[in-house]
Amino acid sequence: MPYRFRPCLLLVPVLLMLGCAQTPERQPQEPVLEGWSARELPGKRATRYSLARREGRACVHAQADQSASLWRRRLQLDPQQLGPLEFDWWIAGQPGGATVTDPETDDASARLVLAFDGDASRLSARNRMMFELAHTLSGEAPPFATLMYVWDAQAAPETVVISRRSDRVRKIVVGSGPSAKPRWQRFKRDVAADYRRAFGELPGPLIGAAFMTDADNTRSRAEACYGTLVFRDGEQRSLPGSLLF
């Protein structure tokens, strides 16, 4: 089956492939920011996303209670445009016993999920089967590749994790451990370089981004705030799709 990667629901089938818990529950409250919206995952309780302030700064506040869902937007950024990526996280509660290195306890206080387009003919037979299943369940094909930046309770920073369920999903740990006193932390990443390190190839177009705080696999709780998210070009100019409070 030929695939056309569409950015509207593209991050949902990825998470269906990775698996989580059940017990759906609607959470209608969500931030109202242009281009961004909440996206629930079939069969899962929704993490609550709302606008808030932490230490005098505006943010998207995520509260997970045995839940997993996205707050996402569409993008269309050529890989040649991509320069530094900057984002701010405020980490509070950690999912008990969680680590993204184990699919059975794959929960994280904070994730930035990036979806990339690519040549679907290069997918392995196993990935094609999984993509077809995800397509059937969600009505959309997964993106060609998904790169996640994650805060992990245990894994060391800069650890690269390849999903055991699909090698088209890879994670880079940008911070780890419990946060005794929640505080804002700023991260700056080279997306193209990180993609090459994770996948061993050049990235295609960046077609979607999402925040995700989840605690469904460990059936626990997690809390984080997402602040400014800036995609920059080589001349340090912010690109369309950046989140500027």
Residue 5 has pLDDT above 70, yes or no: no
Q: Rounded CA gap, 207 and 73, in Å?
A: 9
Pick from 192, 228, 236: nearest CA to 211: 228
Distances (CA, A) of 234 to 51, 53, 84, 238, 242: 31, 31, 8, 10, 15
* Average pLDDT value for the chain: 87
111 strand-pairing partners = 150, 212
Residue 200 has pLDDT above 60, yes or no: yes
Residue 13 has pLDDT above 70, yes or no: no
Rounded to the nearest angstrom, the gap between the alpha carbon of residue 94 and the centroid of all alpha carbons in its chain is: 17
DSSP label at 198?
H
Q: How confident is the model at residue 10 (pLDDT cuts 50, 70, 90)?
A: low
Residue 2 has pLDDT above 60, yes or no: no
Residues 6+ apart with CB under 8 A from 200: none
Measured N-to-C along each axis, helices 125-138 and 11-18 cross at an angle, to the nearest 10 degrees, of: 110
Is the model more confident about 23 or about 113? 113
Is the model more confident about 96 or about 146? 146
pLDDT at 196: 97
Length of the chain, in residues = 245
Q: Rounded CA gap, 232 and 50, in Å?
A: 26
Q: What global pTM score does this model have?
A: 0.86
In the predicted model, what is the mean pLDDT of residues 183-191? 96
Q: Rounded CA gap, 42 and 39, in Å?
A: 10
User: What does the pLDDT look like over 89-145, one tens digit per residue?
Assistant: 999 878 878 999 999 999 999 999 999 999 988 988 888 888 888 878 777 778 999
38 strand-pairing partners = 71
pLDDT at 132: 85
Q: How confident is the model at residue 215 (pLDDT cuts 50, 70, 90)?
A: very high
Pick among 2.60.40, 3.40.50, 1.10.3470, 2.60.120: CATH of 11-231:
2.60.120
Pairing status of strand 221-231 against strand 57-65: antiparallel
Q: Rounded CA gap, 91 and 203, in Å?
A: 29
Tokens of 170: 């890879």
